[in-house]
């Protein structure tokens, strides 16, 4: 079977197997894994300052990592 063909016998996928596309996907995954915890930690920091607490930054980092891993799994986990 040609590398570009869909397993269901559908039309060929012009993006399948291209090294630059795979590299772009890799960098997208890295950016998800970095930006999620940073963004949620920033939100936690802002809420900590506003509410006078000190536990929301670690919670934000963990929540950001969970959301990032979920997004990577949804976006790239079902592809082959």
**What are 28-72's pLDDT values in tens digits?**
999 999 999 999 999 999 999 999 999 999 999 999 999 999 999
Domain ranges of the chain: 32-76
Q: Write out pLDDT tens, residues 4-13.
A: 555 566 666 5
Region 71-79: mean pLDDT is: 85
**How much is the pTM?**
0.70
**Site of tokens 């934000």:** 60
Residues 6+ apart with CB under 8 A from 29: 72, 76
């Amino acid at each position: 079977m040609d590398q570009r063909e869909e397993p269901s016998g559908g039309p060929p996928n012009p993006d399948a197997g291209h090294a630059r596309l795979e590299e772009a996907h890799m960098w997208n995954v890295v950016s998800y894994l970095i930006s999620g915890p940073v963004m949620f930690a920033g939100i936690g920091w802002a809420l900590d300052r506003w509410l006078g607490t000190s536990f929301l930054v670690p919670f934000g980092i963990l929540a950001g990592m969970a959301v990032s891993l979920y997004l990577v799994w949804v976006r790239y986990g079902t592809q082959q």
